[in-house]
Amino acid sequence: MRTIGIVAVLGWLTACLTAHAQTSTPALPFTSANIHLGVSSCGGSSCHGALEPWPNSTVQQNEFVTWQEKDPHAKAYKTLMSAESKRIAKNLGLNNAYEAGICLDCHADNVPEARRAKGFQITDGVGCESCHGGAVEWLGVHVSGQADHAKNVAAGLFPTEQPLARAKLCLSCHLGDKDRVISHRIMGAGHPRLAFELDTYTMTQPAHFRIDADYTKRKGMPDHIKTWAIGQAVAVDSVMEAMLDPKRNQDGIFPELVFFDCHSCHHPMSNVRWEARDGHGIGPGVPRLNDANLIMLAALLDKADPAMAQQLRARTKALHQASQKGHEATLTAARSLRELITPVINKLSAMRFESNDLRGLMSMLIERGQKGDYVDYAAAEQATMALSSVLDAMKLAKIISEPQYKDLSGALNQAYAAVEKDEAYSPKQFMTALQAFSAVMTRT
Ligand code: HEC
Ligand code: HEC
Ligand code: HEC
Ligand code: HEC
């Protein structure tokens, strides 16, 4: 889970001058009307299937090879043939996983037959068009030699470079959405827990693109802190949307268990770790909703817009409290919390992160931990990825030197160690790691 980090971050020092709020994004590749050609149509050796990056091309041209050899998405279909999948399928009463729509929707490019051209193969798993959109409509423009990125996007290429669009895309599978539902029943059958952080995962996929002068000229400089923040906000929005959707918000029990902090129920009884937390104000022995993304979002907003941060915390706490009261109260609180998210996304989209903001953001993340926000595993896991992202950003912005970065990374490794095994998680061990990191940070 260790962050590979932020490759080029200098961007937000200068970029975002043109930033504007945007909350609408094009239809996702899965649901748009576009027809999908299959990976083979992108992966030719004179297209994106070069063995090595081309020296004089704007893009790497070896994206197919990176995807095929290093990207778990290329193996997503094959996973459905594994013994683990076989067991999950059996437990769910499915004939097999590799033909079940419920599995294929996330583990392959499972568009309807009518949107599959000749050459399309479901066995390709999560291929190029699962993220970049069905290519029939934009391929002509794309290979014409006349196209630029804007023209490709106008013809139907999905704008993966935009944080908001990317967040919706990735989270549609990594958290689920109305078309791809993940429930506690699937988890109970043996599916692994889903964890996601947009900026970290974009880099660990691994990235098949390189952020260089040419990339920035074509697409603008990526803002990694903004990517992280919008990823958190969209995750909250998706969960609230699901919680308000009668088709998804209960499976016998309301609310559906998948919205909860898994570890509030699942960890060995000998690992006694409950601690009071002001953020929810709920006593021991009660399952809690998973608020890790909300905690991150509030920490970020503490500096950008303290009033908004306070409102977010108040409504989060109200949702926790409502979950103890019943169905209607929970829905009302979820609705009220969700109303805040569009303004939050607008705010973040219009924001511009300066190098000075990084230290403040780092302090805020540490301070929230010291105030007890990370006693639950899910929050500690998100906080660790966040600290790591900001640290890498500081290095690239040259706020800290190489040796200082080394020291800090060493200290942060203790936090990584504390979240490595979720079932063995100990808030005390995590707090000790956070204090050690904070001490190194203070003298840096
Ligand atoms: C169509 C669904 C789908 C979409 C869209 C999608 N993913 Fe995935 N992703 C998966 C599946 C399924 C796996 C697990 C593959 C396996 O191991 O079989 C996965 C695995 C990953 C992993 C590896 C996780 C680990 O624990 O090793 C990363 C990183 C990742 N995805 C990042 C992303 C990013 C970033 C995006 C958006 C740009 C994205 N994914 C979009 C379905 C998707
Ligand atoms: C909402 C999307 C979604 C659905 C539905 C879904 N998966 Fe997954 N699955 C994922 C993602 C994302 C991962 C990667 C998790 C990670 O590592 O972060 C994954 C991981 C897995 C893994 C572990 C793979 C590994 O490399 O360790 C197995 C096995 C699996 N899924 C099987 C299934 C089966 C069987 C079904 C159908 C019953 C299914 N999945 C349905 C999204 C989904
Ligand atoms: C899981 C989602 C995902 C999959 C699958 C995927 N990509 Fe990408 N791709 C991205 C993201 C995210 C970016 C970076 C944002 C951007 O520049 O648009 C990107 C960027 C690119 C770029 C632009 C690089 C640049 O310098 O502008 C190319 C070309 C590309 N991908 C080709 C491919 C090809 C070919 C495949 C299939 C072999 C593929 N991608 C599969 C998500 C994906
Ligand atoms: C309110 C308590 C509660 C929450 C929250 C909860 N679960 Fe469960 N989970 C259960 C119960 C009860 C079972 C059934 C245990 C059994 O059959 O022995 C179960 C079963 C499971 C199993 C199968 C265990 C087995 O022995 O085969 C898995 C895996 C699982 N849950 C994962 C998760 C994940 C991931 C989350 C978070 C998204 C989660 N659970 C949230 C109560 C919970």
- Residues 47-104: tens digit of each pLDDT: 999 998 988 888 999 999 999 999 999 999 999 999 999 999 999 999 999 999 999 9
- The SS3 of residue 251 is strand
Between CA 135 and CA 40 the distance in angstroms is 12
Does the Cβ of 265 fall within 6 Å of ligand 4? Answer: yes
Burial class (CB in 10 A: 0-12, 13-18, 19+), 95: exposed
Phi, then psi, of 212 in degrees rounded to 5: -130, -175
Q: Are 92 and 85 in contact (CB under 8 A)?
A: no
Does the Cβ of 180 fall within 6 Å of ligand 2? Answer: yes
Between 23 and 139, the higher pLDDT residue: 139
> Percentage of residues in the chain with pLDDT exceeding 90?
81
pTM of the predicted protein model: 0.94
- The SS3 of residue 17 is coil
Burial class (CB in 10 A: 0-12, 13-18, 19+), 442: exposed
Asked if pLDDT for residue 430 goes beyond 90, the answer is yes
At residue 248's C-alpha, the angle toward residues 243 and 251, to 5°, is 110
Does the Cβ of 170 fall within 6 Å of ligand 1? Answer: yes
Ligand 3, closest atom to CA 68?
38
Tally Cβ neighbours within 10 Å of residue 6.
30
Question: Which of 306, 301, 275, 303 has its CA nearest to residue 288?
Answer: 275
Q: What average pLDDT does the segment 368-386 reach? A: 96
DSSP 8-class letter at 36: B
Burial class (CB in 10 A: 0-12, 13-18, 19+), 355: middle
Ligand 3, closest atom to CA 66?
38
Between CA 254 and CA 265 the distance in angstroms is 16
Pocket-testing residue among 62, 160, 211, 221, ligand 3, by greatest number of atoms within 8 A of Cβ: 160
Confidence of residue 223 (pLDDT cuts 50, 70, 90): confident
Q: Are 180 and 173 in contact (CB under 8 A)?
A: yes
Does the Cβ of 195 fall within 6 Å of ligand 1? Answer: no
Q: What average pLDDT does the segment 213-220 reach? A: 89
Between CA 241 and CA 296 the distance in angstroms is 19
Identity (one letter) of the amino acid at 199?
A: D
Q: Are 36 and 111 in contact (CB under 8 A)?
A: yes
| Per-residue pLDDT tens digits for 136-155 | 999 999 988 888 999 999 99
Q: How high does pLDDT run on average in the chain?
A: 92
CA dihedral (255, 29, 165, 364) in degrees, to 10, reads 50
Confidence of residue 13 (pLDDT cuts 50, 70, 90): very low
**59-94 b/e (C-beta count within 10 Å ≥ 16 → b):** ebbbbbbbbbeebebbebbebbeeeebbebbeebeb
DSSP assignment string, 270-313? TS------TTT---TTS--B--HHHHHHHHHHHHH-HHHHHHHH
Confidence of residue 23 (pLDDT cuts 50, 70, 90): low
Does the Cβ of 309 fall within 6 Å of ligand 1? Answer: no
Tally Cβ neighbours within 10 Å of residue 146.
8
Ligand 3, closest atom to CA 49?
35
